[in-house]
Chain A
Amino acid sequence: MSATRLTAGERLERLLSIIPTVAASPEGAALDELAERFDYPPDDLLSDLNEVVFLVGLYPFSPDQLIEVMVEDGRVWIRYAEYFEHSLRLSAGEALALVAAGQSLLAAPGAEEDGPLGRGLRKLAVSLGLGDDSPVEVTLGGADAEVLDALRTGVAEAREVEIDYYSFGRDRRSRRVIEPQRVGIVDGNWYVLGHCHQAGADRLFRVDRIDEAVVRDAIFEPPDEPPDIAVFATTVADPRVTLELAPEAGWVGDYYPHDRIDEVGDGSVRVTLPVSAVPWLERLLLRLGPSASIVDADASLPGDAAAAAARRIRDRYHRQ
């Protein structure tokens, strides 16, 4: 419940929903419950009903043209508010936000289509004119339901979890013990943020790269305020590489965080990117081929990353 005062617009928005709710109920409504449901400070609600809604009506504001408000013993009754008989419809933004939030949870592994959320979303879609077959859908990166369950248990019970993790950037698979602090979605993929015993530091792990997760008996002391996953995901100090990209490789600037991107004429660009690990750079260069060339690279990065990786792949195909 917010303690801050509501603006006139916020009060109006709430009252336009409160009035139809109360008017529809012959036995009135409890004030404290209304305050809770509509996030309205109770004292303000009482005074707004008594001093404002009481004066609302139609020209010429004779008694028969005013909304009737009666407050008694912590309950309120409202009558003669026919023009406010329904709430204001949802704006497109409000409707989409709610539908997308619901669809996101339905897209999570283990969600039940026919549970209360699925049923509520279907009713909502019909009332919004979207029909039975929702035209809004959310797809999240694949994560195993058992893995997600184990990680959530670890967060909820502050217990360590052992994971079998494939680091895509480093191209390395390892078993680690983590103290999971948050599980969440960033850009459509599930992540777990946890203190990693092996690294001795907080790390972010993509859940779809975890093959197995086992909750251990050991408990840990969770931090008071774990860092935000979205913020954590973007604050990395890594060596940089500067690539010149032909026009067909311009998508790189859309997909990867970069320090800067500059046009260099004929549609080509120069982009400076953080490199989380050498295999990440190898993959990028292998995919781009002749469309990319290294202009400048941190001394810690190999200058021939693409050729070295290409030779390993070639050896594989030629070894029979």
Chain B
Amino acid sequence: MAVNKLERLMNLTAALLATERPLSREELHTRVPGYPEETSSFRRAFERDKNELRQMAVPLSVEPVPGTDPAVEGYRIPPDEYYLRDPGLEADELAALHLAARAVRSSDGTSTGALRKLGGTVARDEPALESIGEVPVSPEVNTVFAAISERRLLSFVYRGERRTVEPRRLDLQRGRWYLTGHDRLRDGERNFRLDRIEGKVSIDDIGSSPVQPPGRPAWRHPWELGDGPPVPVRLLVDADHVGWVRRELGRSVVIEDRANGDAVFELLVVDGVAFRSFVMTLLDHGEVLSPPEIRDDIIAWVDMLAGR
């Protein structure tokens, strides 16, 4: 049974790839061996086969058969949409991608299929490598990725409004996907957290996205977001806490290493409320030195919470 189905699917794919004009269902019934004779059984089997091909991402195109009136639906696979553009990977590059796919799996396990299409998995003598993590994937992320690579527009609802976005880049930041793109509704570059999109993401059929460089990374510290002018803020951190704070904020923002191990960080703050939230995570192991208005804001906040 399985063999017959495989043979039929291969012949169907061959017929649809080789044809220059769309083939009607009836023509395919004649040209592809292995379908039941009886019309309704054939149609059911044909529907299943179409679904099988679509699930494999075979670009099955439905077009009217030329010269039919009323129009009859015809099928073909446009070769230029079907064929992989061979990236020309060297053996070591393919092996490195293979290792990466084994080390960092996608949550739906699709990356090994990709490797087979690129020539199979070649590394044979590699040490057994266990998974070190997982990339979260979802239909929405895949749609956004497809839109970026095809330079198409995206349409989705975000914070209650329908947006049309020219997608520029996708960032996986600390386990969450962010889209950066030009929001046509707001006429500006915006970041969107994909898990906050309401409902489905769809590729807009009309219009295309102009070619643009991918732009800056989507994720910045929360206090760097907003429209106001950035204010330089100096933050003193106790020696015992300099290590993790430095890894959180980056080494470049340390402006003074004190002899006792304490360090002074300088941060550019746009959103004072978000910055206060970060300062609170230091508990009493850090202190805002300047400017006075931000220092006073922190003092007023803890005075209020301490209940004077």
Are B56 and A120 in touch, CB under 8 angstroms? no
B156 in contact (CB, < 8 A): no
Cross-chain contact of B117 among A88, A121, A279, A316 (Cβ < 8 A): A88
Distance A242 CA – B243 CA, assembled complex (angstroms): 32
Q: Count of chain B residues with Cβ under 8 Å from any Cβ of A?
A: 116
Are A92 and B10 in touch, CB under 8 angstroms? no
Are A119 and B52 in touch, CB under 8 angstroms? no
A21 in contact (CB, < 8 A): yes
Distance A115 CA – B173 CA, assembled complex (angstroms): 23
From 113 to 128 in chain B, residues with beta carbon under 8 angstroms from any chain A beta carbon are 113-122, 124
Are A142 and B217 in touch, CB under 8 angstroms? no
Q: Chain A residues near B240 (CB, 8 Å)?
A: 166, 173
Are B100 and A104 in touch, CB under 8 angstroms? yes
CB closest residue in chain A, given B58: A88
Distance A115 CA – B93 CA, assembled complex (angstroms): 8
B225 in contact (CB, < 8 A): no
From 280 to 305 in chain B, residues with beta carbon under 8 angstroms from any chain A beta carbon are 280-281, 283-285, 287, 295, 298-299, 301-305
Task: Determine chain A's interface SS by DSSP, over half rule.
Answer: helix
A28 in contact (CB, < 8 A): no
B26 in contact (CB, < 8 A): no
A260 in contact (CB, < 8 A): no
Distance A312 CA – B287 CA, assembled complex (angstroms): 12
Which one, A10-18, A261-269, A294-302, is touching chain B?
A: A10-18
A310 in contact (CB, < 8 A): yes
Known A11-B6, A17-B120, A126-B87: A84·B56 in contact at CB below 8 Å: no
Q: Chain B residues near A38 (CB, 8 Å)?
A: 116, 120-121
Are A128 and B149 in touch, CB under 8 angstroms? yes
Known A104-B135, A208-B247: A21·B120 in contact at CB below 8 Å: yes
Using C-beta atoms within 8 Å of the partner chain, give the interface range for chain A: 35 or more
Known A87-B84, A123-B89: A101·B108 in contact at CB below 8 Å: no
Cross-chain contact of A52 among B10, B58, B243, B307 (Cβ < 8 A): B10
B90 in contact (CB, < 8 A): yes
Which one, B64-72, B75-83, B227-235, is touching chain A?
A: B75-83
Are B114 and A15 in touch, CB under 8 angstroms? no
Known A59-B31, A185-B133: A97·B305 in contact at CB below 8 Å: no
B159 in contact (CB, < 8 A): no
A306 in contact (CB, < 8 A): yes
Are A88 and B57 in touch, CB under 8 angstroms? yes
Q: Chain A residues near B105 (CB, 8 Å)?
A: 101
Are A186 and B170 in touch, CB under 8 angstroms? no
B146 in contact (CB, < 8 A): yes
Known A12-B13, A123-B93: A61·B57 in contact at CB below 8 Å: no
Q: List residues of chain B with CB under 8 Å of any chain A CB.
A: 2-3, 5-7, 9-11, 13-15, 17-18, 30-33, 52, 55-59, 79, 81-90, 92-97, 99-101, 103-106, 108, 110-122, 124, 130-135, 137, 141-143, 145-146, 148-151, 168-176, 213-214, 217, 219, 240-241, 243-244, 247-248, 250, 276-277, 280-281, 283-285, 287, 295, 298-299, 301-307
